[in-house]
């Protein structure tokens, strides 16, 4: 086994080295993510040395100086160069600077702002031109991705890049209500967003499980409704300033009238059913809902929203508005009497009444309303924005009616779908027949990271790197759709994201070490590398009843949403079955690895009982790998098997499809394809 491990390590090093050399042989210009609108390779090199300096001209916002300084410091960190220039300031206007930034005007965070840029890299100089500093910030991220190395040191390929975003709303929603995410988590994800040219961070700040922002007018909201886990107003201001400096807007969401239990812990008088209330510890859709028929509700929300409107400067204010089941409204006699008196026939109509009252409040405080699909009801004015979780049809229907909208359906990254699924999902598909005046109402989209099953330890692994592909969908031309090339570039970007503090790689080993009681993790890692959490919301229906205080430290929590080894393995199978024998040895290598890993993992499990739940899946991986090796041999020799052989192997396949510990083997379908490709007598 020690010899096998040595072979495995050598093979891995060879695989990584070969991949690196291929990436270098190809131009790094082909590795960019998001793909720019236009790239012209000038086939030269701009050499980087310690004399490298940056000058800024034009009339930019001050944020460009911080952005340029951060880029300079990233270059220093990656190369080890002690640059002569420490920071870029408004006095950095040297005619001899090697990197010149020219911005015509300050950029304003919001819709319809110019974000384009052009980047011209010659052997002796780099010029970044943009209408606004927001465009220049995007250009800096592109430049940073172009850092290359050869035998003579570090360089940038000479090129002309002309770039602009496809959509103006390129967002990520982070739910900090169900599981609170502290400031450092938010900031590192803001940095990652900026690197991928995303420009909206939507914070889901209240739900049944917690209220997460300090109110100085109603301090009891967090005192009683947060378990002490919330953002102070100073922290919110700090996050907003941090995001602004990186060209990112912060959109607050306070969910009303449903998903509102945490409000009623301190203010039961605003609820539609009598209290007392306590913070909800379970997950799901619950009954508590604001009472829309009493003036106290609107007086309270006027004061609270007014306070939050001053705290959050963005033009848009999200009210949630989703998943109100109406049960507490139906059970309240006074609410039913109000509906009858005012000719309000349904719960949906009552919510429209509520939303219109809220809209007046937000308008009073100079905000524009945004909400989930449910806020779109007859009679709502079309100056609201619809965030569609129900799908493209709902989004398109709203756009045809004149409502602006953003798409989140298909970007629910908490559902553990593969990157390719998200990547090919499009706010406006290439074959769309929508007229141009309707397309203009579709602003873009948001990836949504709901937090029932994540903590600050593993949230980055659920967001990244898959959201990088979503970011490309929002930025790049709609013709950029090559899935294989996306996966190739995604592996590169995943490592580059670490430079911005994201933890999707380093926390993986940490969580595995804990699962092995700080023993050797190699066998466990070999196994967990090829499993994934079950898809959708199946984890909630597989014998485990999760709550907000459940352990999120098991194998399923460490496992990545998508195994890149599985992605490659499925490609190897497809190529082998096409007759490309070059992939035969790769298939044999991986399946031998999984066969031999089983006894090693058995030893690890003995030392760590928390791993026992995945033991049957480890055996299944061994069994189907042995079956796969047989299939490769038979196919290679053009030999046939009998029906009993096929039946026996299919039993193994069907057994391996069963999830254990809310995780599953994704490569089963690929090995099944191998087995079914064997000729049968």
Q: How far apart are CA 503 and CA 456, in angstroms?
A: 9
Q: Tens digit of pLDDT for each residue in 435-484? A: 999 999 999 999 999 999 999 999 999 999 999 999 999 999 999 999 99
Indicate the pLDDT class of residue 22, thresholds 50, 70 and 90. Answer: very low
Domain count, the chain: 4
Asked if 429 and 386 sit in the same domain, the reply is yes
Residue 448 structure tokens: 């949504």
The domain that holds 76 is classified in CATH as 3.30.379.10
Phi and psi of 95, rounded to 5°?
Answer: -70, -15
If asked whether residues 378 and 325 sit together in one domain, one would say yes
Hey, what are 27's tokens?
């131009």
Q: Which of 559, 572, 544 minimizes the C-alpha distance to 665?
A: 559
- Establish if 327 belongs to a structural domain: yes
CATH, residue 424: 3.20.20.80
Task: Count how many Cα atoms sit within 13 Å of the Cα of residue 309 in the half-sphere of its side chain.
Answer: 20
Where among 461, 488, 515 does a domain terminate? 488
Q: Is residue 497 situated within a structural domain?
A: no
Which H or E run includes 55? strand 54-58
Mean pLDDT, residues 512-530 taken together: 96
Claim to verify: residue 511 and residue 422 sit in the same structural domain: no
Is the model's pLDDT at 20 over the cut of 50? no
Residue 493 counted as domain residue: no
What is the per-residue pLDDT for 8? Answer: 46
Per-residue pLDDT of 420-440, as tens digits, reads 999 999 999 999 999 999 999
> By residue range, what is the domain housing residue 548?
506-680
Q: Are residues 421 and 273 in the same domain?
A: yes
C-alpha angle 62-63-66 in degrees, rounded to nearest 5: 105
Residues 258, 325: contact at Cβ < 8 Å?
Answer: yes
Average pLDDT over residues 405-417: 97
Q: Tell me the CA distances in angstroms from 185 to 191, 206, 533, 559, one per residue in order.
A: 10, 18, 22, 19
Last residue of a domain, one of 488, 520, 546: 488
Model confidence pLDDT, tens digit, residues 159-211: 999 999 999 999 999 999 999 999 999 999 999 999 999 999 999 999 999 99
pLDDT digits (tens, 9 = 90+) for 612-659: 999 999 999 999 999 999 999 999 999 999 999 999 999 999 999 999
Selection from 120, 122, 116, 121 nearest residue 136 by Cα: 116
Residue 496: inside a domain, yes or no? no
| Whether residue 206 sits in one domain with residue 146 | no
- The model's pLDDT over 358-368, given as tens digits with 9 standing for 90+, comes to 999 999 999 99
Is the predicted pLDDT of residue 4 greater than 60, yes or no? no
Same domain as 199, residue 148: no
Same domain? For 22 and 85 the reply is no
Final residue of a domain: which of 163, 187, 204? 163
Shared domain check, 303 and 180: yes
Task: Report pLDDT for 9.
Answer: 44
Annotated catalytic sites, by residue? 323
Are 100 and 44 contained in the same domain?
Answer: yes
Report whether 277 contacts 265 (CB < 8 A): yes
- 202 Cβ contact list (under 8 Å, min separation 6): 171, 172, 173, 174, 251, 253, 318, 446
Task: Look at residue 231 and tell me if it is in a domain.
Answer: yes
How many Å apart are CA 33 and CA 138, to the nearest integer?
12
pLDDT digits (tens, 9 = 90+) for 234-270: 999 999 999 999 999 999 999 999 999 999 999 999 9
- Classify residue 495: in a domain, yes or no: no
Q: Tell whether 657 and 516 lie within a shared domain.
A: yes
Check whether residue 304 and residue 367 sit in a common domain: yes
> Residue 565, exposed/middle/buried by CB under 10 A (0-12, 13-18, 19+)?
middle
Residue 642 shares a structural domain with residue 563: yes
């Amino acid at each position: 086994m020690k010899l096998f491990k040595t072979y495995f390590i050598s093979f891995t090093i060879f695989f990584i080295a070969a991949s690196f050399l291929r990436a270098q042989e190809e131009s790094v210009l082909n590795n960019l993510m998001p793909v720019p609108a236009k790239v012209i390779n000038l086939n030269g090199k701009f050499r980087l040395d310690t004399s490298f300096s940056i000058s800024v001209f034009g009339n930019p916002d001050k944020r460009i100086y911080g952005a340029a300084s951060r880029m300079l410091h990233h270059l220093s960190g990656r190369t080890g160069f002690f640059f002569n220039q420490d920071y870029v300031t408004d006095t950095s206007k040297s005619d001899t600077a090697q990197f010149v930034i020219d911005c015509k005007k300050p950029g304003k965070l919001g819709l319809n702002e110019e974000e384009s840029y052009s980047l011209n890299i010659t052997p002796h100089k780099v010029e970044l031109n943009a209408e606004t500093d927001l465009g220049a910030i995007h250009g800096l991220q592109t430049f940073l991705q172009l850092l290359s190395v050869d035998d003579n040191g570090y360089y940038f390929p000479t090129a002309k890049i002309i770039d602009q975003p496809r959509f103006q709303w390129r967002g990520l929603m982070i739910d900090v209500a169900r599981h609170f995410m502290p400031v450092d988590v938010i900031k590192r994800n803001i940095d990652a967003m900026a690197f991928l040219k995303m420009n909206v961070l939507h914070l889901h700040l209240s739900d049944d499980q917690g209220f997460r922002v300090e109110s100085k007018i109603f301090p009891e909201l967090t005192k009683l409704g947060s378990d002490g886990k919330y953002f102070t107003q100073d922290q919110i201001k700090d996050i907003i300033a941090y995001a602004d400096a990186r060209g990112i807007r912060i959109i607050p969401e306070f969910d009303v009238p449903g998903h509102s239990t945490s409000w009623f812990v301190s203010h039961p008088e605003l609820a539609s059913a009598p209290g007392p209330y306590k913070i909800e510890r379970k997950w799901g859709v619950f009954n508590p809902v604001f009472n829309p028929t009493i003036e106290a509700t609107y007086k309270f929300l006027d004061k609270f929203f007014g306070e939050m409107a001053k705290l959050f400067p963005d033009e848009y204010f999200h009210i949630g508005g989703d998943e109100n089941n109406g049960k507490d409204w139906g059970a309240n006699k006074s609410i039913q009497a109000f509906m009858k008196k005012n000719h309000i026939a349904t719960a949906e109509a009552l919510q429209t009444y509520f939303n219109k009252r809220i809209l007046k409040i937000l308008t009073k405080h100079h905000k524009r309303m945004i909400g989930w699909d449910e806020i779109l009801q007859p009679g709502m004015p079309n100056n609201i924005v619809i965030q569609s979780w129900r799908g493209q049809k709902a989004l398109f229907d709203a756009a045809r009616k004149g409502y602006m909208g953003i798409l989140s359906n298909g970007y629910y990254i908490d559902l553990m779908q593969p990157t390719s699924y998200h990547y090919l999902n499009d706010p406006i598909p290439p074959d769309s027949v929508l007229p141009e005046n309707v397309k203009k109402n579709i602003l873009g989209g948001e990836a949504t990271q709901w937090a029932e099953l994540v903590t600050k330890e593993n949230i980055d692994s659920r967001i990244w790197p898959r959201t990088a592909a979503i970011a490309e969908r929002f930025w790049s031309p709609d013709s950029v759709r090559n899935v294989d090339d996306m996966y190739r570039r995604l592996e590169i970007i995943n490592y580059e994201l670490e430079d911005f503090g994201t933890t999707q790689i380093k926390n993986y080993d940490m969580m595995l070490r804990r699962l092995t009681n700080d023993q050797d993790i190699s066998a466990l890692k070999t196994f967990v590398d090829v499993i994934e959490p079950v898809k959708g919301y199946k984890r909630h229906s597989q014998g485990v009843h999760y709550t907000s205080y459940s352990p999120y430290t098991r194998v399923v929590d460490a496992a990545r949403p998508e195994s890149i080894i599985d992605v490659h393995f499925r490609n190897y199978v497809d190529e082998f079955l096409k007759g490309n024998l070059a992939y035969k040895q790769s298939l044999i290598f991986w399946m031998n690895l999984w066969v031999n890993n089983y006894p090693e993992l058995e030893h690890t499990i003995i030392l760590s009982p928390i791993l026992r739940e995945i033991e049957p899946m480890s055996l299944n991986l061994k069994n189907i790998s042995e079956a796969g090796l047989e299939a490769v041999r038979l196919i290679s020799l053009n030999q046939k098997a009998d029906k009993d052989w096929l039946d026996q192997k299919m039993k193994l396949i069907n057994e391996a499809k069963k999830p254990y510990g809310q995780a599953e083997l994704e490569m089963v379908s690929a090995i099944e394809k191998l087995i079914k490709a064997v000729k049968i007598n």
